[in-house]
Structure 1
Amino acid sequence: MLFLLETIETAVHDYYSKLLYDNPLVYPIDVLKMKRVGRFRTFHFMITLEVTPVVGPYISVGKDRLTMIQSRSI
């Protein structure tokens, strides 16, 4: 999750920059689905996440679903 956090925050900030003055924080992050795209023992994944962006200590501004394709070559 730590490897994806910067990408998740960038996607959320880009979307909400048109609607809000401040950039929301993203927590919690729930993994809804994780699927291996390639064959057996590859590192290509499609990950579906549900994030809750908040402004301030606890004011939720929505619930968003992100689908990302993460690949890593060895």
Structure 2
Amino acid sequence: MPPKQYLKIARFQKAIETIENNQFIQWSGVAMDSGFYDQAHFINNFKEFSGFTPNEYIKRKASTLNYVPVN
């Protein structure tokens, strides 16, 4: 796996962890805390891995930790 792909996966996993651990979500904060350089980069990468925007993910996610619905 190329280093760039590994970093994309690590940032996505960090974003999921941040979302799961917070009741109130500020997307710009999630993006910065997860290592994305801006919110648009975060949304595009999130959609690449899950098939959903972060807001769609919140609406579809189950209460099971580490369960990521994919489209």
Structure with greater strand share of residues: 1
The normalised TM-score by structure 1 is 0.29
Structure with greater helix share of residues: 2
Structure number with bigger Rg: 1
